[in-house]
Amino acid sequence: MARTTTPDPLAVTTPGLPRQKNPMSEPTSNPARGFSSEFWIGQMVVVVCTILGIYLAATLGFKKAVDLTLLESDRNTYYLAASFEGEVRSNLTHLDAFLTEHDAAPFMPDGATLKLNRFVFDAMKFAGSTMELPPAVVNGVSTFYLDAGETMDLLNAKQLNKQSGFNTLRTLIDELKADELPKLETMAGDLKQKLISAGVTP
């Protein structure tokens, strides 16, 4: 029995030439069938490595930013602590010299006035690094400035017995030298060494 074929209605015919098949009528093959499993595994590895690389780069960048911020904070705190220590030490030296100079006088000499340098202490109110200093040190120096200032104002106005006022000032000086000043000095020294270890010149 002869085999019959159904003509393609979409086939292109030209008089005198055999019927040509329409390419649109041919079934299309799936391109994915031409790739092996090794290819897809390789693509997955590339994607995973890319994501991992982006994550590691972002993590490293974030860590560097945090380290830089902490280092900048340490530097600002060191500058403040060193300046604060210098001011306190200068005030104590000035007071000691004044008390020694006028200790023998029975009364407060005319024209002799006592005054503390408070430039750094007053500027600390507007410095964010102030909160990095030990509260006990800041409170101790603040109390010294307050008590010593009141005593000096009374002495300058001759409203307080000179000897009594001088004794009060010496007690305040000794307490500050024994407690707050060493702590402030130690903190400034530790921060300086930390900055040097990190490659930063204070």
Q: How confident is the model at residue 66, as a pLDDT? A: 54
* pLDDT one-digit tens code per residue, 55-81: 777 666 656 665 566 577 788 889 999
The pTM assigned to this predicted structure is 0.66
Res. 195 pLDDT band, cuts 50 70 90: confident
Q: Which of 15-24, 114-123, 181-190 has the lowest mean pLDDT?
A: 15-24
Q: What are the sequence ranges of the domains in the chain?
A: 71-197
Per-residue pLDDT at 18: 54
The helix/strand/coil state of 26 is coil
Q: Let me know: does 196 contact 188? Beta carbons within 8 Å.
A: no
Q: CA of 72: how far to CAs of 130, 172, 198, 202, in Å?
A: 14, 35, 11, 11
3-state secondary structure of 20: strand
DSSP secondary-structure letter at 129? G
* C-alpha span between 172 and 180 (Å, rounded): 11
| pLDDT of res. 90 | 94
pLDDT value, residue 184: 92
Task: For 127-152, write each residue's pLDDT tens digit.
Answer: 888 888 889 999 999 999 999 999 98
What DSSP character marks residue 98?
H
pLDDT at 49 over 90: no
The span from the CA of 96 to the CA of 61, in Å, is: 52
Residue that wins the pLDDT comparison between 39 and 181: 181
